[in-house]
Chain A
Amino acid sequence: MRQEAIIQNIKVRSDKDLSEVIHKSKNRVYCTINKNILPQIARYLFNEEKARFSIASGVDTRKAVEILYHFSIDEIGLIVTLRVILDKSNLEVESLTPLMKCAEWIEMEIHEMLGVNFKGHPNLKHLLLKDDWPKGNYPLRRDSN
């Protein structure tokens, strides 16, 4: 019941900016949304549904870079994944760190590994790589050496 309500709420809030909803298995739902709606949907999940931000996965799919934000709704064991597809010519998305501190480290990691710029991140430096790592070399990119 609650699962359907959450998905319905995401649908209503994102309207045309929601391109796909996949029910992969009983407790795993993937919603592909437009990046301009991400802060709003994340705020809904984190503040209204009291979801726990589990982690984000950055993926280079060759055509684009995808960021998957995994939110866990622990009361019903559900993981709602918000998928944002970023064009390689404009790897930029709004940072979620001002909304929730727990996004700070993973955004730093995706920034250094895939070269995504998180707008509004308070401290976008290297997390895992050393400070003098060559600029423009992103280890998790398909075209990286």
Chain B
Amino acid sequence: MAHKIIPIGPYHPLQEEPEFFKLHVDGETVVDIDIEIGYNHRLIEKIAESKSFDQVTFLVERICGICSTSHPFAYVNAIDDLLGIQVPERALYIRTIIGELERIHSHLLWLGLAGHFLGYNTVWMWAWRYREPVLDIFERVTGNRQSYAMMKPGGARRDMLEEDFPWIKKTLKELIPKFDMFKGAVMDDPVIHARTEGVGVLTKEDIRQYSAVGPTARASGVAIDVRKDDPYAAYDKVEWKVITHEGGDVYSKAVVRILELYESIDIILQCLDKMPKGPIDSGIKDIPPGEGIGRHEAPRGEVIHYVMSDGGNSPARHKIRAPSFMNIASNKKAVIGETISDATIILAAVDPCYCCTERMAVVDYKTGKKIMDGQDLVRLSQEKTEKIKSKLGRR
């Protein structure tokens, strides 16, 4: 059979990172993939050179809508490194809490969409339902459900109120039984096992070659986590563990993310108990010439910012690297040799942008005629789950 090309993307108004996958398929099997990015390149690094050091915090918060605090977090770490200053302890705890709340809502969002792709729309509804209380906490603490503006070079921009702590703790503790439900739904369900186990496997060597980070790496048994390896904020002041899984497949990535939800709640609860009273800002004014590197473990993996100052009011150079820059390239390895019906979940497994998959279309390479679109591919994936369900007698 002649090779066909399935274009996926390039973009959709809801997408966080536009990208274009061209799947070369032979019958049902994916034989090659071309990845193109840059459809919504905003040259934020260049814009940063025209903003003051303080304004850049807000600028980089707008890089990503889902993990909006990850970039400011890495940026303030870079400025703190450039200055070599000690940030007030209370601010470190506030930064940690915001970073972990974000991880919870981001992982839940992924879990919901992964459920949808597999034909488990109940999981999707659940995940987004239980993401709401997390956004409520954000709204109470920061005033915003997204783009919280809590990071500031040398401290935190806004204090947290002690009177909110009991309510935050109660809300988070109420989420734990819900997470148990997800854990059961994913780890005990033979259909989900059949759809995700051994699918889209990345080995330890693949992770090393593609320099993949975050849950993508940890699901292949590579225990890297900036929060543990190069501790910042309050991550070395609380007890928690790095979650890893050995499979390297879609299933392992789901398990790692679900188990990380518990760790995040644990970290926040400890931070609320241990947070000392005191100032939240070290009041930095001028940034001297020099350079600094800041990192943060975002929900998708390590974010790294390099800032160079020439003593002026704005960065002389600001290099930003998001985790997906490394993770998306690893799809080249993960998806080849798999079937089209599994491609949706594999490409989604590194947690890039999901909405792009709605733009999928199967086009006949020769005539350019559309055979299938994104809806059809999600349907293909859901039908495969249905088939496995009836085979296992779970209808």
Contacts and interface: CB of A to CB of B under 8 A. Distances in A.
A79 B209 contact: no
B81 A102 contact: no
Nearest to A140: B46
A126 B38 contact: yes
Interface stretch (B20-28, B134-142, B257-265, B302-310): B302-310
B248 interface: no
B38 A127 contact: yes
Contact of B329 (A25, A78, A104): A104
The interface size bin for chain B is 20 to 34
B329 A101 contact: yes
Interface stretch (A1-9, A36-44, A54-62, A85-93): A54-62
A63 interface: no
Nearest to A144: B46
Contacts of B325: 55, 105-106
B242 to A, nearest CB: 11
Contacts of A77: 226, 229-231
A24 interface: yes
Contact of A70 (B45, B210, B293): B293
Interface of B: prevailing SS: mixed
A128 B320 CA distance: 14
A143 to B, nearest CB: 13
A75 B292 CA distance: 21
Interface in B346-386: none
Contacts of B84: 25
Contacts of A126: 38
Contacts, number: 85
B326 A81 contact: no
Interface residues of A, number: 38
A28 B329 CA distance: 27
B162 to A, nearest CB: 32
B46 A139 contact: yes
A81 B329 contact: no
Interface string A92-112: 000000001110111000000
A102 B302 CA distance: 14
A104 B84 CA distance: 33
Given A24-B291, A77-B229, A102-B209, A55 B37 contact: no
B211 interface: yes
A59 B308 contact: yes
Given A55-B321, A70-B304, A100 B293 contact: no
A55 B229 contact: no
B211 A102 contact: yes
A67 to B, nearest CB: 11
Contacts of B43: 139
B214 to A, nearest CB: 12
Interface string B266-307: 000000000000000000000000111101000000101010
A53 B304 CA distance: 12
Given A74-B224, A104-B329, A81 B293 contact: yes
A27 interface: yes
Interface string B30-57: 0000000110010101100000000000
Contact of A28 (B37, B81, B231, B326): B81
A144 B329 CA distance: 29
A140 B319 CA distance: 11
A102 B304 CA distance: 15
Contact of B37 (A57, A61, A79, A128): A128
Given A28-B292, A57-B306, A68-B306, 15 more contacts: A50-B208, A52-B224, A54-B321, A55-B321, A59-B308, A75-B229, A77-B230, A100-B209, A100-B211, A102-B210, A104-B329, A106-B325, A126-B38, A128-B37, A129-B38
20 contacts: A24-B81, A24-B290, A53-B211, A54-B211, A54-B321, A55-B319, A55-B321, A57-B306, A59-B319, A68-B319, A74-B229, A77-B230, A79-B293, A100-B209, A102-B210, A102-B326, A127-B37, A128-B41, A140-B45, A140-B46
Interface of A: 24-25, 27-28, 30, 50, 52-55, 57-61, 68, 70, 72, 74-79, 81, 100-102, 104-106, 126-130, 139-140
7 closest Cβ pairs, A-B complex: A77-B230, A102-B211, A128-B38, A57-B319, A55-B321, A128-B41, A77-B229
Interface of B: 37-38, 41, 43, 45-46, 81, 84, 208-211, 224, 226, 229-231, 290-293, 295, 302, 304, 306, 308, 316-317, 319, 321, 325-326, 329
